[in-house]
Amino acid sequence: QITLKESGPTLVKPTQTLTLTCTFSGFSLSTSGVAVGWIRQPPGKALEWLALIFWDDDKRYNPSLKSRLTITKDTSKNQVVLTMTNMDPVDTGTYHCAHTTTWAFGYWGQGTLVTVSS
Amino acid sequence: QSALTQPASVSGSPGQSITISCTGSSSDVGVYNLVSWYQQHPGKAPKLMIYEDITRPSGVSNRFSGSKSGHTASLTISGLQAEDEADYYCCSYASTNTPFVFGTGTKVSVL
């Protein structure tokens, strides 16, 4: 059974760096073809893909946010970490991590709400 | 890479069929057979309903079907039920550097 769960701060101040952790079970991120992505959703708005990390440590970023994002993995801990620098109130939203092997996200974490406010 | 275009809302009566469109371009929807569809109920995580344009994951009702013509993908829900009331998002592979582009989202209402 594949599960994912996001963790991190619920409140960050403008200009701060956000660090979110996705802890998963039921699969290994060292298995060929497996990837974990991050997707966010501002309140009442659409989903937006942020970043993706593959089993071989290859990484992809949303071009519009690439300069602010870093995604890493710790295979031994079954974790994926996303950092986003220079946070702004427009970055407020729910951040999800999700599993993919088919260029579609088949398993999602419940999401974590991050509010950016001074 | 711009978001894929979906109608803001679609509605139907119980038992009817509805279709949600997802319009992209020759850089994404029109090139790859990698459109996926997600259902999201309020306060919940999205759920994968269709992948690779037309494939239903195990456990998803066969009332949900995907199709594509040119740059436009579609999700059809047949035999509409109250539980189908939710937001729906399409998503397409767009390039090696931009593997995922989501749609603008469609709110489905069951009248």
| pLDDT tens per residue, range A58-107 | 999 999 999 999 999 999 999 999 999 999 999 999 999 999 998 999 99
Residue A103 contacts B where some CB pair is shorter than 8 Å: yes
| pLDDT tens per residue, range B67-104 | 999 999 999 999 999 999 999 999 999 988 888 999 99
- Which pLDDT does position B43 carry in this prediction? 95
Does residue B94 contact residue B2 with C-beta atoms inside 8 Å? Answer: no
DSSP string, B13-57: -TT--EEEEEE--TTTTTT-S-EEEEEE-TTS--EEEEBTTTBPP
Nearest Cβ partner of A104 from B3, B45, B48? B48
Residue A106 contacts B where some CB pair is shorter than 8 Å: yes
Beta-carbon separation of A103 and B99 below 8 A:
yes
Beta-carbon separation of B36 and A103 below 8 A:
yes
**In this model, does residue B33 exceed pLDDT 80?**
yes
- Which pLDDT does position A84 carry in this prediction? 98
- Which pLDDT does position B26 carry in this prediction? 84
Beta-carbon separation of B98 and A46 below 8 A:
no
Residue A5 contacts B where some CB pair is shorter than 8 Å: no
Mean pLDDT of chain B: 96
